[in-house]
Amino acid sequence: MSTSVSRRVQKHRNALRAAGLRPIQIWVPDTHRAGFAAECRRQASLVAKSDRQDTGLSDFMNTALSDLDGWH
């Protein structure tokens, strides 16, 4: 049975390569690590505080969004 799974996986990978894709490996934060959620909250709080203080950025983003009206 594992041979069948291996063949299906290889077939899928070959199809992806044929479509011009290539596999990559990346390292990401461990979401199960102690303190991860607290760090997310801390960073989100800093971003929210910065957004509230930077009214110019908010105005710029609203102007940019209005420029997209009717754009497809």
For residue 72, what pLDDT band results from cuts at 50, 70 and 90? low
> pLDDT tens digits for 23-70?
999 999 999 999 999 999 999 999 999 888 888 888 898 889 888 877
| Contact present, 51 and 58 (Cβ < 8 Å) | yes
Tell me the two tokens of residue 25: 């490996």
Q: Locate the domains of the chain by residue range.
A: 2-67
Tell me the two tokens of residue 57: 């950025």
pTM of the model: 0.51
| Contact present, 13 and 23 (Cβ < 8 Å) | yes
**Alpha-carbon distances of 49 from 43, 44, 52, 54, rounded to whole Å:** 10, 9, 5, 9
